[in-house]
Amino acid sequence: MTEELGRLEKVELRTVWTNEATSFTPWMAKEENLKLLGEAIGSELVLEAQERNVGPFRADILCKDGSRDHWVLIENQIERTDHGHLGQLITYAAGLHAVSIVWVAARFTDEHRAALDWLNEVTNESVAFYGLEVELWRIGDSLAAPKFNVVSKPNTFVKRVTTEREASTRSSKYLAYWQAFKECLEANSKVIRPVKPSTGHWTDYAIGRGGFGLVATAGMRDRVTSVYLVIYNDQDGEILNRLRSHSQELDRLAPGAVWNDKPGKKESAVEFTWRDSDPNDETEWPDQQARMVAHMNALFTVFAPVVKALP
């Protein structure tokens, strides 16, 4: 017996979003829709602002990539791409320095797709350009469903090779260290989203809310490793004190945490630090990184639901 199947029907964007500024941009800024867009480009998007001034222009949506301290700027069109928006995107990249530029439109011309490809070729890893076409589809009388099609994205391999050529010997060693750490994280964590390997002594990961993060460090000069939950805007330690009520739960999973309110600084942290292993010694990396990942998992398990529920 053959089952009956529906037929996909493309829906005109203007029948759902009548106006770019008053309907499409507010729809895009909702958490569930940013998540859908983030899945298309491999980022965890946390909304920071709508209609944010960047130089003489106003960006539609400004986000932070929750997996690292990196701006993501989204420019929306429900029409075909045009030169005016391309010029704005280049201005945004210059004004924000470390940024991912995401251009969403109903249709990309060949010229604008080629322009984004070229920009990705000539810029380093701190800047990335994405082009996505948005579509709406339905089956029969169903609700229209959005779909993002990536038409241009960074060639991360080329950018990484370019960065490696410019890096010092120590930076190259860090790149190898964090690549191995990424592989360890992928194998041993189901909750923490991996990020691109860093060329510095630290790297950070999302915990599901802006203003918080998980950080891993590997000090090759001082031969110290650490992982910690950081609260970026907690000058008086008030948020850290709220988290202390969960200290026993953390101790059951990973004893030995240090609660650091960092007097005189804006941030606070819950830290694990080890001085018994050397990040310079590659033979120690498997055990060293497995321990770091285990403690990051504990921090995420205990605190991710807590920080998401904070007012």
Give per-residue pLDDT as tens, 61-78: 988 886 666 788 999 999
Q: Is residue 27 scored above 90 in pLDDT?
A: yes
Give per-residue pLDDT as tens, 286-309: 999 999 999 999 999 999 999 999
Q: Which two tokens stand for residue 188?
A: 């041993």
Residues of the chain with CATH 3.30.1460: 167-309
Residue 97 is predicted with a pLDDT of 61
Degrees, nearest 5: CA angle 218-220-221: 130
Q: Beta 70-76 vs 99-105: how paired, if at all?
A: parallel
Q: Which two tokens stand for residue 61?
A: 């949506």
Q: Is residue 178 scored above 60 in pLDDT?
A: yes
Q: Nearest-CA neighbor of 15 among 153, 136, 142, 118?
A: 136
* Interatomic CA distance for residues 190 and 192, integer angstroms: 6
Whether this model's pTM surpasses 0.95: no
Residue 149 is predicted with a pLDDT of 94
Give per-residue pLDDT as tens, 96-118: 766 889 999 999 999 999 999 99
Residue 200 is predicted with a pLDDT of 84
Residues of the chain with CATH 3.40.1350.10: 8-160
Give per-residue pLDDT as tens, 212-255: 999 999 998 889 999 999 998 887 789 999 999 999 999 999 99
Look at domain 167-309 and name its CATH class.
alpha beta
CATH architecture of 8-160: 3-Layer(aba) Sandwich (3.40)
Scanning the structure block, which residue is given the tokens 């609700």?
143
Give per-residue pLDDT as tens, 119-175: 998 887 778 899 999 999 999 888 999 999 999 998 765 555 555 555 456 778 899
Quick check: 144 and 135 in contact, CB under 8 A?
Answer: no
- The separation between CA 195 and the C-alpha centre of its own chain, rounded to angstroms, equals 8
Residue 53 is predicted with a pLDDT of 65
